[in-house]
Amino acid sequence: MDNTQIKTNKAPAAIGPYSQGVKGGNIIFTSGQLPIVPETGELISDDIKRATKQSMENVKAILTEAGATLEDVVKVTIFIKDMGEFALVNEVYGEYFNEHKPARSCIEVSKLPKDGKIEIEAIAII
């Protein structure tokens, strides 16, 4: 199987030795997306809803670059620093996945890169 790195300027550049995503055959794996605005490099850390939206937009941009849509997503993993904000995260997440509902895990973690509040990754099949 041929693995292709996915790269787009519509999502933040990788901040380490990894790619924004990888396409292996008909499966797309996005790396975890912090709420970084690609155009400015700003990390959104003041509002979990804005942060969730930006992380989702970053995931969406990587999927688009690979020829997929959110409708192709089969699994999402969300890492959040405060499970007390889960309802707010879920509210924004539901705007992206309403009829189509992929499998999902949500995990509270003690720390994320750049001290982010949220990181989201996805797996899609096209």
**In the block, residue with structure tokens 């509002």:** 47
> For the segment 70-79, what is each residue's pLDDT rounded down to a tens digit?
999 999 999 9
Q: Which of 14-23, 46-55, 56-65 has the lowest mean pLDDT?
A: 14-23
Residue 52 scores a pLDDT above 80: yes
* Secondary element (H or E) of residue 104: strand 103-108
CA distances from 86 to 13, 83, 105, 118 (A): 27, 5, 12, 10
> For the segment 95-117, what is each residue's pLDDT rounded down to a tens digit?
999 999 999 999 999 999 999 99
Pair of tokens at residue 60: 């969406």
Q: Whole-angstrom Cα distance, residue 107 to residue 76?
A: 11
Are 78 and 105 spatial neighbours (Cβ–Cβ below 8 Å)?
A: yes
Q: How big is the chain by its Cα radius of gyration, in Å?
A: 14
Closest CA to 54 of 108, 96, 16: 96
Residue 121 scores a pLDDT above 80: yes
- How many alpha carbons lie under 13 Å from residue 81 in its C-beta half-sphere? 16
Domains of the chain: 3-125 (3.30.1330.40)
pLDDT at 13: 93
